[in-house]
């Protein structure tokens, strides 16, 4: 896993961290571990690059 970008924000969230992981299971395990420590409350968003989304949308045509 690696941190790609991090932003410190104002508002409902203190930070936005963009990470890459080899698969969804690895990221989910990481988020569950960090959340279990009680110091961080996270929200996970699965994002798709343009070419990934085009492949997904092609399946419904």
pLDDT tens by residue, 4-60: 999 999 998 899 999 999 999 999 999 999 989 998 888 888 889 999 999 999 999
Residue 6's pLDDT is 97
CA-CA distances (angstroms) from residue 19 to 16, 52, 55, 58? 10, 17, 22, 26
Dig out the tokens for 8 from the structure: 């410190």
Rounded CA gap, 43 and 52, in Å?
22
Q: What HEC string does 25-47 produce? A: HHHHHHHHHHHHCCCCCCCCCCC
**H or E stretch including 51?**
helix 50-58
Residue 22's pLDDT is 96
């Amino acid at each position: 896993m690696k941190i790609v970008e991090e932003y410190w924000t104002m508002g409902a969230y203190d930070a936005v961290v963009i990470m890459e992981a080899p698969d969804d299971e690895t990221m989910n395990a990481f988020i569950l571990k960090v959340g279990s420590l009680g110091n961080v409350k996270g929200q996970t968003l699965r994002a798709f690059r343009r070419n990934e989304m085009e492949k997904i949308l092609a399946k419904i045509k």
